[in-house]
Amino acid sequence: MSNGSTLSPVSEILHAYWRSDRWLLLVVVAVVLISSATSVATPYVFSCLIDRLPREEDMSVLAWGFAGYAVLLGVASALQRMLQYLSFMTAENLGFIAATGFFDRILRKTAAFFLEHNPVEIQNAAARGRSALTALVQLGIVVFIPAATQLLLTFVTLGALLNIQIAAIVVVYGAVLITLTWSSTRRAYVFLERAREAGQDNARFVGNVMSSMDTLRYFGSHSWMSQRFTMTAREVRDNWRAYVLQRVAFIAVLGPAVALQFAVTFLLLIPEYQVGAVTIGDMVLFNTLLLQLNMPFEMVARAISDAARSRADLIPLARLWAAPEERRPSHAQDFTPSDGQLSFEGVGYAYDNGRGVTNVSFVAGRGGITFLVGESGSGKSTIFRLVLKSIEPDRGRILVDGTDIAGIERADWYAAVAVVPQDVMLLNESLADNILLGRPRNEVRLRAASEKAAILPLIEALPEGFDTAVGERGLKLSGGERQRIAIARALYGEPAILLLDEASSALDEETEQDIMNHIRTLAKDVTVLAITHRKGVVSTSDVVVDLTDCGLSVT
C-alpha cells in the first residue's frame, strides 16, 4: 500500500470532522488571524510611540497612545490563551469522531480480522491514532497557522518599514532553518518508525499472552514471555534513544545560528542608523520582531517534527480501519423464513491454505435435529461459518426456504439464525443482561425463552430472579446451567434456525442427553443443526450428515 492510500482513512475522518465542526473551526481561524496580527502590531505601535516621545509637546496624546498599546497587548494575550482552549475543544470533538468511527468500522470487520488482530493491539492502535489526530489538529491550529501568519506579517513589516535586505536575511535564515529541520526530521523518522513498529508488536504479544496466561503458566513459559517482551521493549527504547540523539545534535546547531542571524542584521542596521535611515524606534521594533520571530521558526520546525511523529502513530489505526469488511449484498431483499429449511447444494469452500470443504449437499429441516459428524478437520466448523455468513461459498449455494442466503441482508439473516457456541461467554452482568445481550427487554419473551431452555425454575428460585448478577458471589452456574443460559439467549430472538456447536460436549453424558432431549422437543418449531463428536446423542428422529469425505485437504 502506498503512503497516500495508507492514510486515506485519515482523510475520511477529517472530512467528517470538517462537516461537524466547520463553524467552530472558522471562529478559531479568525481568532488565530487577529491574535497573530496583534502580536506584530503591538511592537510596531510601541516603536512609533518611542520615536515620538522626545518630540511630542502634548503628552496627553502620547498617554492615550500608550493606553491603546496596553489594550492591544491585553487583547493579544487574551486571544492567545483563548485559542488554546478553543483548539482543545475542537480537537476533543475530532477525537470523539475518530473513536466512534473506528469502533463502528471494527464492528463490520470480517471474522479473519479478529483472528489476525487481538484486542490489546486494536485498542492500542485506536488510542494512539486518536491522540495523534488531536495532536495534529492542535498543532495546526495553535502552532502552524499562527506561526505562518506571524512570520508573513513580520516579513512584510520588516520589508516595508526597515530594509528589504534585512527582511531578505530573515527569510533566508528561516528557509534554511526550516529545511534543515525537515531533513533532519526525515532522518530521525526512520528510528521513530522502528520504535513504533516494535511497540505495536509488543502490544500484540501482550494481548496474546494475556488471553492464554493460564496455559503459558502451566508450561513454565514465564521466562520466555519476559525475555521476548524485554527484547522488543529494548528495541523500542533504543530506537527512541537514537531518535532523540539525532534531534539533540540538530538543536545544538540552532543556538549559534540564532547568534549569527542577530550579529549580521545588527551589523547592517548600525550604519543605517548612523546615516539617519532608521530611528531608535525602528531598532526596538526590529529587535522585538526578530526575537519574536525565532519562536514561530521554532514552532514551524516543531510542527514538522511533531507531524511526522503523529503520522507514524496514525498508521496502525489507518491499517486496521482499511482492513476488509464483511461484504454487504447489493441485491439485498427483505427476508422472513417460513419453514426454515436449510439446503446445501454442492457447496465448496477453500481457505487460503487450500484446506476446507468440497461438494457438501444436505437438507436440514424441522422435526428432529440435523447432526453434522465427521472426523477432525472434515469441515464441521466450516459449515457453521458458511451458514453464519462469516465466509462465502466458492462453489454451490446455500438456500433457506429456496432463497440463496448470499442475497439476504446480514441483519435479516442474523435475526433468523442463532448459535450456541462450544464455550459459553457470560458477562459479569445480570442474568437478564446475559440472555438479552443488548436486545430490548420483553418480559414475556424472556420468560418463554428461559422456559424453553429449561432454566426458568432455577432463575425464579433466586431472590433477585433475572436481575441476579452472574458474577456475584453465591451464584455459581454449572456447565449445564451455563449451556442453558446460552440456549435461552439463542432462543430469545425466536430464530428459525438454531446452530449448536458441540454445545454440550463438555458436559457429562447424562446432562448432555438431557439437554439434547429437551432441544429435540423444540425442533418442531426451529431447524436445529448441531455439531457433535458423540454419536450416542443421535436419536431415530434425527438426521446425520457425515462430512468425512467432504474435507478438502492439501496433498
Residues forming contacts to ligand ATP in the complex (CB under 6 A) are 351, 353, 355-356, 374, 376-382, 553
CB of 299 or CB of 372, closer to ligand ATP: 372
Short-list 188, 191, 195, 181, CA closest to 304: 181
CB of 517 or CB of 553, closer to ligand ATP: 553
**Cβ neighbours, 10 Å, residue 417:** 25
What are 530's strand-pairing partners? Answer: 371, 500
- From the CB of 353, what's the least distance to ligand ATP, in Å? 5
* Angle at alpha carbon of residue 513, lines to 478 and 482, rounded to 5°: 25
What gap in Å lies between CA 157 and CA 114, rounded to an integer? 59
Q: Is 198 helix (H, G, I), strand (E, B) or coil?
A: helix
CA distances from 152 to 78, 110, 475 (A): 22, 50, 71
- From the CB of 254, what's the least distance to ligand ATP, in Å? 54
CB of 11 or CB of 212, closer to ligand ATP: 212
* Cβ contact 312:196 at 8 Å: yes
- From the CB of 323, what's the least distance to ligand ATP, in Å? 16
CB of 338 or CB of 353, closer to ligand ATP: 353
- From the CB of 381, what's the least distance to ligand ATP, in Å? 3
Specify the residue for cell string 453424558. Answer: 509
CB of 323 or CB of 462, closer to ligand ATP: 323
Which helix or strand (DSSP H or E) is residue 529 part of? strand 527-531
- From the CB of 423, what's the least distance to ligand ATP, in Å? 13
- From the CB of 112, what's the least distance to ligand ATP, in Å? 7
- From the CB of 550, what's the least distance to ligand ATP, in Å? 9
- From the CB of 371, what's the least distance to ligand ATP, in Å? 13
* Cβ contact 551:379 at 8 Å: yes
Angle between helices 280-322 and 8-52 (to 10 degrees): 170
What gap in Å lies between CA 85 and CA 17, rounded to an integer? 18
CB of 74 or CB of 346, closer to ligand ATP: 346
CB of 391 or CB of 415, closer to ligand ATP: 391
Please provide residue 530's backbone torsions phi and psi, each rounded to the nearest 5 degrees.
-130, 140
CB of 330 or CB of 353, closer to ligand ATP: 353
DSSP state of 464: T
* Cβ contact 382:357 at 8 Å: yes
- From the CB of 322, what's the least distance to ligand ATP, in Å? 21
CA distances from 225 to 196, 208, 219, 311, 329 (A): 20, 11, 11, 30, 44
- From the CB of 253, what's the least distance to ligand ATP, in Å? 54
CB of 447 or CB of 534, closer to ligand ATP: 534
- From the CB of 548, what's the least distance to ligand ATP, in Å? 9
- From the CB of 210, what's the least distance to ligand ATP, in Å? 22
Amino acid letter for position 150:
Q
What gap in Å lies between CA 317 and CA 130, rounded to an integer? 8
Sign of the CA dihedral 102, 107, 110, 113? positive
CB of 355 or CB of 395, closer to ligand ATP: 355
* Cβ contact 48:361 at 8 Å: no
**Cβ neighbours, 10 Å, residue 252:** 9
CB of 83 or CB of 357, closer to ligand ATP: 357
- From the CB of 326, what's the least distance to ligand ATP, in Å? 16
The Cβ-side half-sphere exposure at 310, using a 13 Å CA radius, reads 18
CA distances from 492 to 60, 348, 436 (A): 85, 32, 7
Q: Is 455 exposed, middle or buried (0-12, 13-18, 19+ CB in 10 A)?
A: buried
CB of 127 or CB of 391, closer to ligand ATP: 391
CB of 113 or CB of 262, closer to ligand ATP: 113
Amino acid letter for position 57:
E
Pairing relation of β-strands 395-400 and 403-404?
antiparallel
**Read out DSSP for 334-365?**
----SS--EEEEEEEEE-TTS-EEEEEEEEE-
